[in-house]
Structure 1
Amino acid sequence: MTGMLGCLLKLIMDIHELKVNPFRDRICEVFSSQQDGMLSFEDFLDMMSVFSDSCPKNVKVEYAFRIYDFDNNDMIGKTDLEEVINRLTGSNSQLPDAQHLLKPDEMEKLISNILQEADLDQDKALSYAEFEHVISKAPDFVNIFENGAGPQLKPPNLITKHNVS
């Protein structure tokens, strides 16, 4: 059983779109049924289903919200937005400010603009309903979610020239 789990984990980590995705750890955490970042085979199938072309938009929106809600408080607040922006710009939140692509005042302005546009009840955080409302105005969200913040993951090719006789 351990060997099969190791093979599955290697297959998951070898998926190029997940390997290069700045949200890979969040994707694994959100889809992990044990909430430990480790994916069972069923978790893996769920993940592949959500990132498939045939998954309904409302399901994709729900998972995108969960991926962006880093503190798991059912709101996307200032710290969540900062983490999303840092990941999208290639900055690492663990680095000193001098190594971030955005200066602190630029980050504040960007977050302020996002909240001004999307935070309908002005509580300085996005609820699921507010996030869903903003996403409804983005007709290409499904493509962005599949190819960016949540990649369009394709099942790995399990048949290669090396294992076919």
Structure 2
Amino acid sequence: MGNASSMLTQYDIEEVQDHCNHLFSQQEILSLYERFCQLDRNAKGFISSDEFLSVPEFAMNPLSQRLLKMVDGLNFKDFVAFLSAFSPKAGNTRKIELIFKVYDSDCNGKVSFNDILEVLRDLSGPFMTDEQREQVLIQLLKEAGYTKDSYLLLDDFIKVFGSSNLRMEVEVPVD
């Protein structure tokens, strides 16, 4: 699997399925491999930030810079594992873990008021002032039982989002 131009063996496919908790079928993994090879223009065996940004939907995402930190340099196996959060078969916990990682940009295992504020800034752009963002966030945290000084852990995200029906799905075209 090191060389992106080589074909996947049955063993490789099964190994990738195990790595992504069988959230993709063998045919979906083959389709994802084709896409991975298209993105890996220099056949290095991993996808760079620039290659990810060549996907218009990714480049246009207001959180693309945060996501780039998570995906830059992924090999195929890790690429599929990342995408597994977007599988219709993925449970809420897997999706929440990904959301948490987007907010936890310094990877310290906790999300601060400022971390959330940065994401809110990315999402709202020039449509809100920093003061408006802070007011909204303070009120939202208060309603959820937290303060501006609180740090949110993954368990807090699971508690807050756990009962939601999160719709984060990417369709994998299968020929």
For normalisation by structure 2, the TM-score amounts to 0.63
Residues of 2 paired with 1:107 and 1:69: CA distance? 18
CA distance in 2, matches of 1:70, 1:17: 21
Tell whether 2:53 aligns with 1:27: no
Deviations 1:98-139 (A, max 9, x none): xx32223212211211221234487423222221111024x3
- Partner Cα distance (2:136, 2:147) in 1: 19
The answer as to whether partners of 2:93 and 2:162 remain within 8 angstroms in 1 is: no
Quote the residue 2:152 is aligned against. Answer: 126
Alignment correspondent of 2:58:
18
1:14 and 1:5 mapped to 2: Cα distance? 16
Root mean square deviation of aligned Cα: 3.0
Please tell me whether the aligned partners of residues 119 and 125 of structure 1 are also in contact (alpha carbons under 8 angstroms): no
Greater mean alpha carbon deviation, residues 21-30 or residues 118-127: 118-127
Query: Greater relative contact order: 1 or 2 (C-alpha under 8 angstroms, separation 6 or more)?
Result: 1
Match in the other structure for 1:69: 104
Identity of aligned residues (%): 24
- CA-CA distance at 1:66 after TM superposition: 0.9
1:85 is aligned to: 120
Structure 2 partner of 1:162: none
Counterparts of 1:1-165 in structure 2 under 5 Å? 3-5=42-44, 12-30=52-70, 32=71, 37-89=72-124, 91=125, 100-120=126-146, 123-137=149-163, 139-140=164-165, 142-143=166-167, 146=168, 152-155=169-172
User: By how many angstroms is 1:67 displaced?
Assistant: 0.9
Q: How many angstroms apart in 1 are the aligned matches of 2:76 and 2:58? A: 16
Structure 1 ranges of 4+ moved more than 6 A: none
Structure 1 runs not aligned, ≥5 long: 92-99, 147-151, 160-165
Q: 1:7 to 1:38 in 2, by over 3 A?
A: closer
Residue identity opposite 1:67 in structure 2: V
Unaligned segments of structure 2, at least 5 residues: 4-40
